[in-house]
A and B are shown apart, each in its own frame.
Chain A
Amino acid sequence: MSPLQLALRVLRVDRRTQVSTVLTALGVAVATGLVLLLVSLPYATESRAERTLWQHPTSFSEGSSDGVVSWASSEDTVDGQLITRIDVAPLVDPADIVLPPGIDRLPAPGEMLRSPELAQLADSRPAAELADRFAAKPAGLLGDEALMFPEQLVVLVGHTPETMPVNASALPALASGEAEADGLLSLLAGVGVVVLLIPSLVLVASASRLTAARRERRLAALRLAGATPAQVTKMVAAETGLAAVAGALIGVAVSPVLHSVATWVPWGGGTWFARDFMLPWPVVVAVALAVPVLVVGAAVAGLRRVVSTPLMATGGHTVKPLSKARLLIVPAAALLFFWTLSMAGESENAMLPMLVSLGILMWSPTLVGPWVTSALGGVFTKVWRKPSALLAGRRLRDDPKAAYRASAGVVLAVFAGSMALTVMPSLESEAGYYSAYRDDVLYLSTDADSAKEIVSRADAGLSKYDLAQRAAAVGQVQIKQGDQYLQGYVVSCEDAKVLLPVDLTCGSAPAMYAPAGTSLSLVDYADSSGVEKTASLPGKPVDAPIGVVLIDPSLFPADAQPIVVDVAVPADAGTREAARTALLAASGGAQVISKEMKLNEQNTELADLRRVTVIGLVTAAVLGGLSAAIATAGSVMDRRRTFGALMAAGTPVRTLAKALRAEAALPALVSTLGAGALGTAVGVGLFGLVSQSLPVFSPWLAAPIALGALVALLAASVCRPALNRVRAEPLADE
């Protein structure tokens, strides 16, 4: 009989093997499906980037003579939704410009192509609130192949080179450069593979351990009957391989479903096209092979005892104490992680070693956890007062690996949760809006020559929309007062009071306003040598405790130039959309900045992070809880005869259940504390990769530990039905 035939025969007749095989296959299917999903994320973002290379080109011409198209991009917002605006003007014969998929023609000057969602939105609102912003006639729709995500709001506006916004660049092609995957999502996917794959494998290990005791006896009997170690190994490989291969195939089969679900999860402002998650087939094959190979390899590695000394497996064995050297593994893994983390900060190529070391660090508690469990058991066996404490303590001491196995998945989930909750509040603390203007001001930056015309056109627009407010040009200069540098604004006092966060009383005549002090001079860096040049400002400023200097435009020296000129319009919530329309239509596609738009962008990013974190944590917690529940049930099944005899002799189920709950939950409680601390440290490290600020620690950091303990307790509660099942079975030898 071949190993495979033997495995099939055991599977046919043994119900527990059937249950274990099904659970193992499910675990492998979950692991395969999750890995395929996570591996597809960088491909999905790259696919998005590929489609939207015309919106975000990565290669520009050095001069306008090299380019075929003049291109400018800006972002706009309506009701908190982001609109991407691309302005283009052909620099060569339009027929010679290669168009990217989804764009069937280059819009002529004064025409525009809109995404279907934007067309629908613009058509459903008054023109003053949206359609007028583009100052162009709709000439068609952009196809899906040109959109980042199905509901993207994007417009392509045609120009002549002369009417292009001041920030336009020349491109060698409309979609130029190389598409790149989203770095943050790729990093999160990498972390996700580690965070979710390990609990999945723990789940598989727990499932395959359901029949471990019985299988060890069977294999030991086969060894005693003359089977060689190689034959026994092949049998186990066949037995586990059956479940693993079936699971991997199920995982591959259900991965399109997972991918479909993933298309509903927004990232970067929108959902996904189903085809974004398509993986190259060699990657699918590699994952579908790697996961079962890992599982079979782990099962074969677990055979060492029965292969080397079959008698020990049949007749029990003396428990060897775990080496204290295990305790060194966590600090060693932590050192390795922080070393690779410091490298990752310096080079992008060091990202993979950092992720590998993160995986090692996450795995390290599974080696230290049993030692901690054993030590905990040792304490219990010394101080016990109740039989449940004695039973739990002895079990923890005797088989700490099995006892820890039940909580391993939960510990990993706590690690991941603490890591995420360290990174998230720290990132949120970085969010905010910093502007020279009042919060309700919309503004755009331009040059001094264009500013006057934009103000004039914007005012005409504001009048057209019956809005009372008017636009103003605000020049920005640097002022030196003694040794101190101050920000200066070339703006009238009345406009400054409306636009800038200053509180002052304006005089009747044009004036300069500045903090009390010595005379003012205008700083000019225009010299190509970079040497600071200053020019005196005529007249004495009015003392005003405003922290900045205001210079009325009529007093600004005619031969000086502001560093930058903004055109600003005050707008409250009721007039914001129309004021934005007036400003945008006047500028012909400049970037209009406002507080709500900046905050919306940050909120979108944080919401993305929060969403994937919650999804990841819930998945890790569910996997951890399932592993714990299966491990607890397996631990009852392994000792069914002993428990059966104890219950027959009158031991209440509640006493045994209490002991088993303690046995399952105690290691989890202790290990989750350690995992929480470790996860927090890793979170601090990862936050340091993206920010120089100090991390923020929130009280929510305790949540994963509490949640982990709760999940462990809930999972441990399956011992009660398992014990009831044992009680219902005849008290007889297996």
Chain B
Amino acid sequence: MTPLLSGRGLVKRYGAAYALAGVDIDIAAGEVLAIVGPSGSGKTSLLHVLAGILKADDGAITLGGQRVDQLNETKRSELRRTEFGFVFQSGMLVTELTAEENVALPLLLGGRDRNMAISTARTWLGRLGLAGKETRRPGELSGGEAQRVAIARAVAHRPKVIFADEPTGALDTKTGRATVDALIDTAKETGAAVIIVTHDRELAAMVPRTVAIRDGRIEQPVVAQ
């Protein structure tokens, strides 16, 4: 299987401390992967490095066989905007914008016109069970609803990879599971690969492949289904 996204020998240092100490990781197109580990293990740093939010101090990252770690910030921003989608803890939605505007935002930033972007946003919100709540603000939605808006925003521009950083961190167990189900189902629909970072092993168990990270190094796969 040719990996869609691949990291080799990834190193990230904060001063003298290693957040990543030589990580190798691959993810195939359409694959769903969970990265688990305790606080401070380096899982969020790994996600940020793979997504190009942070620049690795050493190592190589390829997307579809192309090196992306050597891109400058402008190119990396463009890559994140077009090829990647993101779901953060608590949604990290723009509080001033409505649900549909939040979802439409990446499309607008990608150059789509207003009507097209809003129409696509409404479609995805409908598929995620949020029909009728398109004009609500994040403050007017429940935690689970806000995360589904975040999922809609992450997939609306049909990215190749969706990065989810503790997507259920602020939700109760039931809502958290429903949110991850929604994320996985939506990704399947678009063919996107999903990388979920979580410290919740029960949540990780819902995902086909899990890798554990500790002290900046990948441990043996704990689950391989």
Contact = CB atoms under 8 A, between A and B. Distances in A.
The secondary structure that dominates the B interface is: helix
A648 B81 CA distance: 9
B95 to A, nearest CB: 7
A384 B114 contact: yes
B51 interface: yes
Contact of B96 (A394, A647, A732, A733): A394
Contact of B101 (A385, A390, A642): A390
B95 A642 contact: yes
A655 interface: yes
B97 A650 contact: no
B77 interface: yes
A285 to B, nearest CB: 46
Contact of B86 (A384, A386, A642, A648): A648
B29 interface: no
Given A645-B88, A733-B89, A398 B114 contact: no
Interface in B10-65: 44, 48, 51, 53
Given A384-B114, A649-B86, A731-B53, A398 B81 contact: no
Contacts of A646: 94, 105
Nearest to A727: B73
Given A316-B139, A390-B108, A650 B96 contact: no
Interface string B66-96: 0000000010011111101110111011111
Contacts of B106: 649-650
Contact of A650 (B48, B88, B108, B109): B109
A641 interface: yes
B92 A651 contact: no
Contacts of B105: 387, 646, 651
Given A387-B109, A390-B101, A649 B81 contact: yes
B68 to A, nearest CB: 13
Given A642-B92, A649-B86, A387 B108 contact: yes
Contacts of B53: 648, 731
A209 interface: no
A642 B77 contact: no
B97 A645 contact: no
Interface string A214-239: 00000000000000000000000000
Contacts of B78: 650
A652 to B, nearest CB: 5
A666 to B, nearest CB: 15
Which residue among B77, B78, B80 has the maximum number of chain A CB atoms within 10 Å of its CB? B77
Contacts, number: 77
Interface string B106-132: 101100011000000000000000000
A398 B109 CA distance: 22
Which residue among A386, A399, A648 has the maximum number of chain B CB atoms within 10 Å of its CB? A648
A386 B108 contact: yes
A133 interface: no
A395 interface: yes
Contacts of A387: 105, 108-109
Contacts of B94: 391, 394, 642, 646
Given A648-B51, A650-B80, A655 B109 contact: yes
B74 to A, nearest CB: 7
Contacts of B81: 649-652
Which residue among A384, A385, A648, A650 has the maximum number of chain B CB atoms within 10 Å of its CB? A650
B146 to A, nearest CB: 11
Given A386-B108, A387-B108, A390-B101, A650 B79 contact: yes
B124 to A, nearest CB: 15
A385 B111 CA distance: 10
B109 A385 contact: no
Nearest to B108: A387
Contact of A385 (B95, B114, B139): B114
Interface in A593-629: none
A50 B114 CA distance: 72
Which residue among A316, A384, A390 has the maximum number of chain B CB atoms within 10 Å of its CB? A390
A648 B80 contact: yes
Given A384-B114, A645-B88, A731-B48, A651 B109 contact: yes
Interface in A397-452: 397-399
A387 B78 CA distance: 16
Interface string A693-733: 00000000000000000000000000000000000000111
Nearest to A733: B89
Contact of B80 (A316, A397, A649, A733): A649
Interface in A266-317: 315-317
A398 B94 CA distance: 12
A390 B97 contact: yes
Which residue among A318, A397, A641, A649 has the maximum number of chain B CB atoms within 10 Å of its CB? A649
Nearest to B76: A650
A655 B94 CA distance: 14
B145 to A, nearest CB: 14
B148 to A, nearest CB: 16
A731 B48 CA distance: 9
B96 A391 contact: yes
Contacts of B95: 316, 398, 639, 642
A394 B97 contact: yes
A648 B109 CA distance: 13
A395 B88 contact: no
A650 B82 contact: yes
B139 A652 contact: no
Contacts of A386: 108
A647 B106 CA distance: 11
Given A390-B108, A391-B96, A647 B139 contact: no
A731 B84 CA distance: 17
Nearest to A385: B114
B77 A651 contact: yes
A247 to B, nearest CB: 33
Interface string A307-333: 000000001111000000000000000
B74 A652 contact: yes
B137 to A, nearest CB: 8
A650 B111 CA distance: 13
Interface of B: 44, 48, 51, 53, 74, 77-82, 84-86, 88-90, 92-97, 101, 105-106, 108-109, 113-114, 139-140
Interface of A: 315-318, 384-387, 390-391, 394-395, 397-399, 639, 641-642, 644-652, 655, 731-733
Given A317-B139, A386-B108, A645-B88, 9 more contacts: A315-B139, A316-B139, A394-B94, A394-B97, A399-B96, A642-B93, A649-B106, A650-B82, A652-B77
For the complex of A and B, list the 10 residue pairs with the smallest distance between their C-beta atoms, beginning with the closest. A650-B81, A650-B80, A645-B92, A394-B96, A316-B139, A387-B108, A649-B86, A398-B96, A648-B53, A650-B77
17 contacts: A316-B95, A317-B139, A318-B140, A385-B114, A390-B108, A642-B92, A642-B94, A646-B105, A648-B51, A648-B86, A649-B80, A649-B85, A649-B106, A650-B77, A650-B79, A652-B74, A731-B48
